[in-house]
Structure 1
């Protein structure tokens, strides 16, 4: 008998060991047999179903939530909740039908966030991605197709939002060259991902609009987003800016209005000696790294506005971090005359000294065309007398 035969004989003669090996073998066999159905089900899940995940921070979440409510099968789910004054699909799971295609959904809430964070997962019984794309288009109500979503972000995260009716750039009265410059830059940026990648340049676009109050900076942003089909993510606090930027999609335009007023002492000076240095430095540090650093996501688009460009730290507006710095000032006479035509339906304004769009709008909304022309003409005469 050789060494192997002797060892095998010793093993088989030990009843305790044989029993243990047999139990282990049987357990392993049962585990394999049990995992086969699970593996097959997982394979079916991945090959037959098409999934889409919608998070509550996304602009589409309210529309998807309401759309499911009208198409779910009550027999499989009776879970409801009260939201926005009406019954909506509650948390849990269920089934529904869309365009002859079965889908299953689950709605969950995470308690690990400063604000409630919900996720809807929808699995369509089809491999056709077009079904999902049609579903996402159809879930948007008709009245929403002529509006943009404005979502609010503070230091604690998302704060919900609202919808605003779209407006065209032709309804905003600023210097035409400014509109042309912005449209050209955003149009080019939308298709320039490969251009940036091939040159090792971060694919992001930052714009600063500066100028006196009432010159139309906010209206210009609203119209620009409307024309490009962007939704706006409005930053109310610079703390948490990086997290807000990372929540964006290719369809989002981030807006930071009056940046010099929503954080304490953005520059590196000593204007606010009584403040905690850490709190004073935090907003600036977050801005710099979020706009142009390791935290900057691809495809980021943001517009910053300020009435006082000189109050911003030079690091914020340096080339590379900000791509366009555009001054929006009082209306030139061509734009003022275009605004006059829009309000009164005729040509007008012979004498004119530069005014902001807000000043002219107030005049055009409360005075007749003749009164406006007379008032503007008087201002020109007064201006000549002052110079003389």
Structure 2
């Protein structure tokens, strides 16, 4: 199937036309705990999906599970086939989980737009978890039980719970320094609302991300229909990510276009193994800042600069790991 970013898709026999993307805030949801709301599919989110380099099979699993949520849930008895409408992505910071989640929302809406106008909400978890003592439970209940429920009444809805450990913390591991009773109640509220929403709205999907699954409550994870580990990129993915970042730089600075053809590029790519995708992309920026001349005019960047930045990034990463161990 060929995507047409002008606003439609050609699937061979018929053309599906989408509403034009209007970007951040286009979902018109103004409520406490909502970071962003959009109409789907969204061009920015589709671009994020394409930009995150992971195995194709992994993207296929995520998309298939998301689609299944909308095509099967309302047809089966949840007591026998418990689809909760929850996908969890976990892994180290910088591996693209949030971008994948946003992109997954857009790709799902693109794939099954016949169900109606899809909407998207991104929750601001820290705003809820940071509520005054005794208020977190109410904030969670208001967001999920009212705001999300109201939007789910309007049609297909996808909700992103980024850094979900701040909302559904593991009750068995709570510290006495973190208002454990309040956090315990907030987690209880999340679980109760998830169950109620799953039962009432079959066209509602939650996508949650976490850097620390050990900090996420086990009862929350047990409700997930799919738990997908988004790990550090392998050697070939590192090479592709570095090339992608350099290609983007070359769009703005054509003088750098030949860097990825240089032998030093291959050495730099090997030094990227063990880094997360975000750090690999940022090392291209770091390379531009190695010298004042290239900061003024990045067209003068060389493959040797990129290699030096990759080596520095590895050393910094190693130092951080040692400090944290």
Tell whether the structures are fold-level matches, with TM greater than 0.5.
yes
**Alpha-carbon distance, 1:162 to partner:** 6.3
Unaligned runs of 5+ in 1: 1-136, 384-388
Structure-1 residue corresponding to 2:156: 251
Q: Is the 8 A contact 1:260 1:311 kept in 2?
A: yes
Structure-2 residue corresponding to 1:178: 58
Deviations 1:334-372 (A, max 9, x none): 222222232334464342322111101111234246122
5 Å-filtered alignment, 1:131-146, equals 142=20, 144=22
**Alpha-carbon distance, 1:268 to partner:** 3.9
Q: Is the 8 A contact 1:148 1:232 kept in 2?
A: no
Larger CA deviation: 210-219 vs 291-300: 291-300
Equivalenced residues, count: 240
Which residue, 218, 229, 233 being the options, matches 2:121?
233
Which residue, 309, 312, 319 being the options, matches 2:216?
312
Name the SS for the 1:325 alignment partner: strand
**Alpha-carbon distance, 1:302 to partner:** 0.3
5 Å-filtered alignment, 1:78-157, equals 142=20, 144=22, 149=27, 151=29, 153-154=31-32
Structure-2 residue corresponding to 1:167: 46
Kindly indicate whether residue 307 of structure 2 is the aligned counterpart of residue 373 of structure 1: yes
Q: Is the 8 A contact 1:215 1:356 kept in 2?
A: yes
Larger relative contact order (CA 8 Å, sep ≥ 6): 2
Alpha carbons of structure 1 residues 325 and 175: separation in structure 2 relative to 1, 3 Å: same
Deviations 1:46-81 (A, max 9, x none): xxxxxxxxxxxxxxxxxxxxxxxxxxxxxxxxxxxx
Distance in 1 (alpha carbons) for counterparts of 2:316 and 2:208: 36
Kindly indicate whether residue 192 of structure 2 is the aligned counterpart of residue 272 of structure 1: no
**Alpha-carbon distance, 1:253 to partner:** 0.7
TM-score, structure 2 as length reference: 0.60
Q: Is the 8 A contact 2:27 2:119 kept in 1?
A: yes
Unaligned runs of 5+ in 2: 1-16, 110-117, 129-139, 248-259, 288-300, 318-325
Structure-1 residue corresponding to 2:295: none
**Alpha-carbon distance, 1:324 to partner:** 1.3
**Alpha-carbon distance, 1:322 to partner:** 0.8
Alpha carbons of structure 1 residues 224 and 200: separation in structure 2 relative to 1, 3 Å: same
| Higher share in strand | 1
Distance in 1 (alpha carbons) for counterparts of 2:233 and 2:310: 13
Distance in 2 (alpha carbons) for counterparts of 1:159 and 1:269: 28
Q: Is the 8 A contact 1:204 1:299 kept in 2?
A: no
Structure-2 residue corresponding to 1:362: 282
Name the SS for the 1:183 alignment partner: helix
Q: Is the 8 A contact 2:162 2:208 kept in 1?
A: yes
Distance in 2 (alpha carbons) for counterparts of 1:226 and 1:330: 24
Alpha carbons of structure 1 residues 193 and 380: separation in structure 2 relative to 1, 3 Å: closer
Structure-2 residue corresponding to 1:328: 230
Structure-1 residue corresponding to 2:195: 292
Alpha carbons of structure 1 residues 311 and 152: separation in structure 2 relative to 1, 3 Å: farther
5 Å-filtered alignment, 1:36-115, equals none
Alpha carbons of structure 1 residues 363 and 246: separation in structure 2 relative to 1, 3 Å: same
Structure-2 residue corresponding to 1:224: 104
Distance in 2 (alpha carbons) for counterparts of 1:374 and 1:171: 24
Alpha carbons of structure 1 residues 162 and 226: separation in structure 2 relative to 1, 3 Å: closer
Name the SS for the 2:89 alignment partner: strand
Name the SS for the 2:166 alignment partner: coil
Distance in 1 (alpha carbons) for counterparts of 2:78 and 2:21: 41
**Alpha-carbon distance, 1:280 to partner:** 3.4
Q: Which has the larger radius of gyration?
A: 1
**Alpha-carbon distance, 1:147 to partner:** 9.4
Name the SS for the 2:228 alignment partner: strand
Structure-2 residue corresponding to 1:109: none
Alpha carbons of structure 1 residues 284 and 364: separation in structure 2 relative to 1, 3 Å: same
